[in-house]
Amino acid sequence: MKHQQLLTKAKEILLNNFQEKGFTIPCKGLYPFQWNWDSGFIAIGFAHFDMEKAKKEIKTLIDSQWSNGFIPHIIFHNKSDTYFPGPNFHRSDLSKLSNTNVPTTGMTQPHVLGIALERMYEIAENKEAMIRFIKENIDAIYNFSLYFYNHRDPLDEGLAYIYHNWESGTDNSPIWDDIWDTMDSPSLEFKRKDTGHVDASQRPSKREYDHYLHIIEIAKKHNYDDAKIAEFSPFLVQDPLFNSVLISSNKALIRLYELIGGYEEKVEKLKSLTQKSIRNFNSKLFDEKLGAYCHYDLRKGKLLRYVSSSSFSPLHAEIPTKERAEKLIYTMMKKFGNEHQYLCASFDPTHERFNPKKYWRGPVWINLNWLLYHGLKKYDYTHIAERIKKESIEIIEKNGFYEYFDARKEISEKQAAGYGGNNFSWSAALLIDLLNE
């Protein structure tokens, strides 16, 4: 497909997934509501051809904010019977801080809102109107950043914890297997919907779903109180992707506040928080032997020593020094980057837990590629950045706008190698951004 045709198709996908209430679903059937970080990426795509929709995307997400600054992972604006677990399971109303206008989940996702807002500003032709929009909405995004430091950082390290794998965005990563091994969740009765839309072999197992739901039950028992969750959740992790995105969003907010002027106090606050985050991120989350950033299990007090695409996301937030970035990129190219593979598999292709078809256990995701592309450019690894961009376009051209893709080039030559949901919003949105750069 020519790039022009790809762009037309990508726009069509976004418009088809756009809902009357002003937000966009990730894809039909499988994900029929508004998802937090999806919306950030979607807004970037819309910004290139329909800025009003991009703004609406951000607005509808921000409108779900809780009184403590928290912005949830799924916003149930509408009813749908194609997804489990829905609003009646999550019960956000249990928290006295929750938003009474709309039911949501009681967990969140990587905070890409700051990144999205800044990218929208760069894309906007009418800068004045965009500055007005930023002025109206930036404080809500700032409050979301602050939420993590105030409520998700029990050791005061500037590193936020996540209490559920669904907060990571990399929901079924093999890294979580180590945590499931320590848990003895009851076997629950429930009716999943995801396996009705997508081949069950590409999705998590029943046992994994037991754990997912069990953690939510614990959080619900404590009415989604963060301090109680920090004390009792069996899952408590400092995730390098989650924290990188938070730091990148903080940096974007600093630049935007400086641009509009008059917010010195907030800028200072963000600067000092971000500096502390970066310091502790580097001292706590880097594993010299692996040459990569890893997840830290706060429950067990140890690093989960695996390399995944999340390991490289600190490049986006300019967390590593030049020297460390060199090491990190060396690891990336050695494990993920030989000529038989598309960049960048979601999990270490040399590891026995790698699975090229299963959700976050190996396939390539366009949103991670987008973050890595920009991260590599910041460190002047232009050649590898361009390869990621080229390959991201190529896998979509070959397979269509899927949710995730096989990293093995030979498979892609022979057969359809796009998996999960089709006509997937962030694959479309970020392709638009890559092609319009």
Residues designated as active site: 171, 403
Nearer to ligand GLC among residue 37 and residue 286 (C-beta): 37
Stretch 318-377 residues interacting with ligand GLC (CB under 6 A): none
Kindly state the number of chain residues that form the binding site for ligand GLC, as judged by CB under 6 A: 7
Nearer to ligand GLC (CB atom), residue 36 or residue 341: 36
> At closest approach, how far in Å is the CB of 420 from ligand GLC?
8
Residue 293 CB, nearest approach to ligand GLC (Å): 19
Q: Which of 262, 378, 268 is nearest to 328 (CA)?
A: 378
- Shortest CA distance to 162 belongs to which of 222, 90, 102, 235? 235
**Residue at shortest CB range from ligand GLC:** 26
Handedness of CA 156, 69, 120, 31 (dihedral sign): positive
- 169 touches ligand GLC (CB under 6 A): yes
Length of the chain: 437
Letters for 38-77 (x = contact with ligand GLC by CB under 6 A, - = none) are x---------------------------------------
Least Å from the CB of residue 435 to ligand GLC: 21
Phi, psi dihedrals of residue 339, rounded to the nearest 5°? -70, -10
Q: What is the token pair recorded at 146?
A: 């602050």
User: Which x/- pattern over 129-168 shows residues binding ligand GLC (rule: CB under 6 A)?
Assistant: ----------------------------------------
Encoded one letter per residue, x for contact with ligand GLC by CB under 6 A and - for no contact, window 19-38 reads -------x----x---x-xx
Residue 182 burial class via C-beta count within 10 angstroms: exposed 0-12, middle 13-18, buried 19 and up? exposed
Taking the complex as a whole, how short is the minimal distance between the CB of residue 186 and ligand GLC, in angstroms? 23
Question: Quick one: 116 or 329, whose CB is closer to ligand GLC?
Answer: 116
Shortest separation between residue 208's beta carbon and ligand GLC, angstroms? 13
Closest by alpha carbon to 36, among 87, 76, 82, 92? Answer: 76
Residue 185 neighbours by CB distance under 10 Å: 18
Q: Which residue has the tokens 């500003």?
A: 121
> d(Cα 170, Cα 264) in Å, to the nearest integer?
35
Instruction: Report yes or no: 339 and 325 within 8 Å, Cβ to Cβ.
Output: no
Please identify which residue in the block is written with the tokens 């990293």: 407
Rounded Cα distance, 345 and 369, in Å:
9
Q: Decide whether 63 or 171 has the Cβ nearer to ligand GLC.
A: 171
Residues near ligand GLC, by CB under 6 A: 26, 31, 35, 37-38, 169, 171
